[in-house]
Copies of this chain bind each other. A is one copy, B any other.
């Protein structure tokens, strides 16, 4: 066993880079209606053209463009209306020179026609003569086959998270089953002699299992599948057995442990005793969240959360989210921007030496300016996290931020 002092603090970027050691989970097929928010596992190409036929993109008249050349309001061109094209119907007439067919947006362009004159630039006479007051160029107001998406085009690469408009495009192409990466099955282990289940009334000196619920809610909102693996006492053998059991079933282990030095050492020992275990990170240069552990056990990641609730929440935001994104196969898991707003800092903030500092802030709008009010308080407290809207980062090596400075607020996930 390596002495614990071997480990120096890793920066956030170093931890994110280490996530490349973990492979995205294998693929499964899901129905298109269930694919929103999932991550594509294999490149998807267009099996056909969109649109599959030449289509009017405006309400108007299908014409031969050359029949409209030179038309002006003062000297219009006159065409003969020979009928109309209904939505979804195949035109039963051909447009010959001097003829026009009425048609709505989305209808199929009839053979012979090569353009659509918008209804706004025409007048219909009772004898079915069409007065055209403006010329159209060939192809104008017509969507050509494959103009939106040509057959064979690569639509989505592996690693792309599907958004509603992506689902719309796949539907238009009739792709009703999508290969996506599995959701990370995430075991949340709670450790601590003082922890009782949430549904129990704690005895004196005991507390309820709140961090496991916090971690589980994060996993849920991030598209993972969390399950509570149970509460384990501060006992080396019990902890090791629980870890081994969870590793046999889950894709990712989150250990929500105590914050005391003795308990953290015990967790480290139990992890290192697992076959194929490698401790990758023991301590991260962030505040709060320093006592974070990252390990790989036979290729599976294990993230040890700090015991303080604010630290656990920040670590889930800063390190847990990209880890879940990596397992879910997201290609840009390291740069995922999440939600943010710009606001002005309402007071000076001093940074932490040698640590990237994540300061909780509450947003407040006053006279049209959005202010970020720092919410101070020990990381052992639950309520400051609940009262705040997001985090302001004081980067490594920056002494502090000044009152009135414009900052980027990373909004908490929900």
Contact = CB atoms under 8 A, between A and B. Distances in A.
A88 B194 contact: yes
A28 interface: no
A4 interface: no
Given A104-B262, A220-B36, A176 B193 contact: no
A396 interface: no
Interface stretch (A65-73, A208-216, A239-247): A208-216
Interface in A130-172: 143, 147-149, 155, 161-172
A164 B382 contact: no
B106 A386 contact: no
Interface string A83-95: 0001111110000
A163 to B, nearest CB: 4
A258 interface: yes
Interface string A74-102: 00000000000011111100000000000
B33 A205 contact: no
Interface stretch (A14-22, A278-286, A293-301, A337-345): A337-345
A328 interface: no
12 contacts: A36-B218, A53-B204, A57-B380, A59-B260, A87-B258, A89-B205, A90-B203, A107-B194, A107-B205, A168-B211, A339-B339, A342-B342
Interface of A: 32-33, 35-37, 50-53, 57, 59, 86-91, 104-108, 119, 143, 147-149, 155, 161-174, 176, 192-195, 198-218, 220-221, 228, 234, 258-263, 307, 309, 312-313, 316, 337-342, 378, 380-383, 385-386, 408, 411-414
A215 B252 CA distance: 33
B411 A169 contact: no
Contact of A259 (B105, B260, B383): B105
Given A107-B205, A165-B385, A339-B411, A213 B307 contact: no
A169 B258 contact: no
Contact of A313 (B57, B164, B203, B221): B164
**Centre residue among A107, A164, A206 by max chain B CB count within 10 A:** A164
A382 B339 contact: no
B380 A143 contact: yes
Given A174-B198, A382-B168, A412-B165, A307 B105 contact: yes
Given A88-B193, A234-B87, A167 B214 contact: yes
B166 A210 contact: no
Given A339-B337, A382-B148, A411-B339, A213 B37 contact: no
A221 B164 contact: yes
Contacts of A234: 87
Contact of A88 (B90, B165, B192, B198): B192
A190 to B, nearest CB: 10
A270 to B, nearest CB: 16
Nearest to A363: B337
Contacts of A33: 213, 216-217, 220, 228
Contacts of A342: 342, 408
B105 A258 contact: yes
A201 B214 contact: no
Contacts of A381: 143, 147-148
A122 to B, nearest CB: 13
Contacts of A86: 193
B174 A205 contact: no
Nearest to A409: B337
Contact of A36 (B32, B37, B221, B411): B221
Contact of A205 (B108, B148, B307, B386): B108
B411 A337 contact: yes
Contact of A307 (B106, B169, B258, B260): B106
Nearest to A104: B260
Given A91-B205, A165-B412, A167-B217, 18 more contacts: A50-B382, A87-B258, A90-B203, A104-B261, A104-B262, A105-B260, A105-B307, A105-B380, A106-B194, A148-B381, A155-B386, A164-B413, A165-B313, A169-B210, A171-B209, A171-B212, A337-B411, A338-B339
